[in-house]
Amino acid sequence: MKKKNNKMVLPKILFAFITISIIGIGCSPDITPSLYDSIGDKGVAAEIVSVTPENGYSGVTTISISGKNFSSVLEDNSVYFSSKRAQILSGSTTELVVKAPIILGDSLHLKIGKVGVEKFSNTVVYKLSSAVTEYYSFLANQEPYAATVDIAGNVYFSYIDGAVGKGIYQISSAGVLSEFAPKGGETFFFDLKYHSDGYLVGVYGNKAIFKIEAGVKPAVLINSNKNNLKLSTFDFDKNNNIWAAGKGGFIVGAKPDNSFKLFDYANDISAVRVFNDYLYAISGISGSQKIVRFPIVSADSLGAEEVYFDFSAMIGLASVANTFTFAANGQMFVATTPLLLNSEPIDQFLFVNADGSFGVWYPGLITSYITSFSWGTGTELFAVRSRYPADKSIAPTSGQNILKIDMERQGAPEFGRD
């Protein structure tokens, strides 16, 4: 019997071993962590236990997700509401706090992924609705101005149609539109407030303050007798005194018995608001605007002026403050307009905190610009939005309408009404 040649067999075995090894290395899985790794899990999937609040507002609400097995490395977590990824604000292995992304839906699929884990978490059905809705839309040739809200939630507004004043209209809380008062000498009102006795008070750019009763043309309530005075804004204080201003060198303080006093004030005033026993005002012309305040001593006495927020210095010379209001917690909200309208104004709704910090409120949700604010009886703020572009021969990208904005906080008292 012949012997086998071992010298020939050994090289063949080595060659086969090396070949198999090379093939094995070439087919080894990618070691880079990936949420979509097709080989298998490299950890435990996240688990959602609860979500607070139960539903929220698109682009607005801060949402807390409690659960298990979240990554301790914050950026290794990803939170989705169906197709939209949410911004993670903070977190731990048992809680993630996120900002709701801009997406609307009654049945969005909320789920969490982790880098290096193939499987997503369990899915929770979540609802995101809009915090900003069009409460009433106007036709192309119509233009709204001031709006106010009564204690029952009815909205009153002044508007023009084809440059002709149309009086005061009411939108009931049930959504029914009707005339509240016919047009008087005014074309439109710059500012309106509801009085608890069932009538409206308004100013429209002359020396007087007007009373507007249902079914009756506006009548003079207080006449300042200053022909150069152009009143365009006012507010009530907690004692039902009226504080009115505009252009012409004076602030008017009027008592409930309609007696009044004039306070010298040189600067133009765009808007006033009473909060915590102070009279606040947007003072000055574009480029030099400040939000100032005066302690209210009585209807006959104002304390020294204080600068509360140097608007033009802080926001910039290219923006103009139109009007403002307060939440019950002291947060101020300012509606602005670019000085030059070369493009559609976006994110013109600002907040100012008591410590002087500020920023955009509801980024990306409010276009064009706002000229009037009025709080409802809860967390809703009604706002008059102007159209853009102003040229009525061009279809607007943002129509003129009354917006209803859920601010997720209570409004400051509407004195005179509340």
Which domains can be identified in the chain, with CATH numbers?
47-129 (2.60.40.10), 132-406 (2.120.10.30)
Q: Which pLDDT value is given to residue 237?
A: 98
Helix (H) or strand (E) holding 176: none
Q: How far apart are CA 103 and CA 361, in angstroms?
A: 17
Q: Indicate the SS3 state at residue 61.
A: coil
CA atoms within 13 Å, Cβ hemisphere of 180: 28
From the list 351, 387, 361, 327, the residue with the least C-alpha distance to 132 is: 361
Provide the 8-state DSSP code for 302: E
Strand 191-194's sheet: what is its strand order?
191-194, 200-203, 208-212, 219-223
Q: How far apart are CA 56 and CA 58, in angstroms?
A: 7
Q: Which residues have CB under 8 Å from 322's CB, separation 6+?
A: 270, 271, 282, 335, 336, 337, 369, 370, 371
Residue that is written with structure tokens 């086969």 in the block: 16
Q: Which residues have CB under 8 Å from 296's CB, separation 6+?
A: 237, 241, 243, 274, 277, 278, 279, 302, 303
Provide the residue type at 216 as one letter. V
When computed from its CA atoms, the radius of gyration of the chain, rounded to whole angstroms, is 31
Structure-block tokens of residue 201: 């008070």
Backbone angles phi, psi at 155, to 5 degrees: -105, 135
From the list 323, 370, 374, 317, the residue with the least C-alpha distance to 345 is: 370
Q: How far apart are CA 326 and CA 308, in angstroms?
A: 13
Q: Which pLDDT value is given to residue 394?
A: 83
Q: Which pLDDT value is given to residue 32?
A: 36
Backbone angles phi, psi at 219, to 5 degrees: -125, 150
Q: What is the mean pLDDT of each run of 10 residues along the chain (418 residues)?
A: 40 39 38 39 86 96 97 97 98 98 97 96 98 94 95 97 95 95 96 98 98 98 98 98 98 98 98 99 97 97 98 96 98 95 88 97 92 96 93 85 96 96
Q: How far apart are CA 380 and CA 315, in angstroms?
A: 26
Strand 358-360's sheet: what is its strand order?
319-326, 332-338, 349-352, 358-360
Provide the residue type at 70 as one letter. F
Q: How far apart are CA 391 and CA 365, in angstroms?
A: 23
pTM above 0.75, yes or no: yes
Q: Which pLDDT value is given to residue 35?
A: 46
